[in-house]
Structure formats: structure tokens, C-alpha cells
Amino acid sequence: MPMSHLKSKISLKPNIFYGSYPERLKDWQHIRNIINDIDDPIDYLLAVFKLCPRTKTNTDIYKKETWLDGWQLIERNEYDLFDICLLLSYTIILTEHFKKENVMIHSCYKTEFDSNNRKFNYIIEMNNVFLDAHSMEKMDKTTFDKTYVLHYTTNIQETINISLI
């Protein structure tokens, strides 16, 4: 078995979400190190973040002052779908492998729903790969364009001061 595969084995309760605060920080660093070394970093990230427990928080996509940075998210350890997008985006940006990628979070709704039944989804986009925060599945631009109607986009690098992180 290749070494990178051994390093990337995922627990059903990863410490990034289920450990003590120091364990969560250590595991977050470990995850960022792993995705620099494996062939399928996006699939690995989706597998880890799929295990994130979801709660209700006061984070609002339209009010950047409600957004926590990665370390604050790890400390609070409560994640709604947008918090998951933020932590996943920070994780991506803070790696050597992806540090130059332009990461955006899209608020959108599925084309199949009429205006009375719209439920917003959050989709992370980078390098023409789209990651659905709800299902933790990746899709290409064609699938995204057929499935979703774009409502609002946030460019994460423009929103946060990456030099301070």
C-alpha cells in the first residue's frame, strides 16, 4: 500500500471535529499536510468534511463580520453549511498544493425547484471544480450550470486577508 494512502486513512470520527481543541488544531494541520502529498486531495477533503457534524450558527454569508477564521472555527467547533464552506476553503487556501487557487463560495439553488420551494445550497468553486457543501460531492462546470442557478458569489481570497492567516 502506498505511503500516501496510509497517511490519508480517515477515521469515522476525525479529531478535527471530535477531538479536544488541541487535537482539532493538530488534525487540521495534519489534513493540510496530507493534501499536499496525495494524488486525490479534493476527494480526501470531501471524505473528511462529509463527517463534519452540522449545527445551527449565526454565520451569515451576506455579513462578513459574522465569519470566523479557520482557527476560530476549529475552536468553536460548531458548523452550519456555510461554516463548513469557510473551513474547507481556508483548508484549501492554506496548503502549498492549492495556495494559488482562486476559491469562491457560491450561494445558489437547484433549477428543479420553483420559486416557492427554493432552498439555497453552498458550492465551493476552484479551478473549474465545484464542491457541494451539502452532499460533499464534486462536479464539473457543465453539471453545475445544468443543476444550479447562481444567486451570490464570494471570492474568499478577496474577502479575507490571507497574509494574516
Q: What is the pLDDT along the chain (165 residues), one digit of tens a residue?
A: 343 444 557 887 899 999 999 999 999 999 999 999 999 999 999 999 999 999 999 999 999 999 999 999 999 999 999 999 999 999 999 998 888 889 999 999 888 766 666 678 999 999 899 999 999 999 999 999 999 999 999 888 776 655 444
Is residue 30 included in any domain, yes or no? yes
| Spatial CB neighbours of 139, under 8 Å, sequence gap ≥ 6 | 129, 130, 132, 147
What's the pLDDT score for residue 114?
60
What's the pLDDT score for residue 1?
35
Output the pTM of the full model.
Answer: 0.87
Describe the strand order of the beta sheet including 104-110 as a list of residue ranges.
137-140, 129-132, 120-126, 104-110, 148-155
Q: Give the count of beta carbons closer than 10 Å to the beta carbon of residue 129.
A: 14
Is residue 165 included in any domain, yes or no? no
Closest CA to 138 of 8, 47, 4, 11: 47
Is residue 121 included in any domain, yes or no? yes
User: What is each CA distance from 163 to 23, 74, 76, 88, 114, in whole angstroms?
Assistant: 25, 19, 23, 18, 42
CATH number at residue 106: 3.10.620.30
Is residue 42 included in any domain, yes or no? yes
Cell numbers linked to 112: 428543479
CA gap 165, 73 in Å, rounded: 13
Is residue 47 included in any domain, yes or no? yes
What's the pLDDT score for residue 165?
45
Strand partners, 156: none
Number of structural domains found in the chain: 1
Pairing relationship of beta strands 120-126 and 129-132 according to DSSP bridges: antiparallel
Is residue 138 included in any domain, yes or no? yes
> Which domain does 64 fall in, by range?
3-160
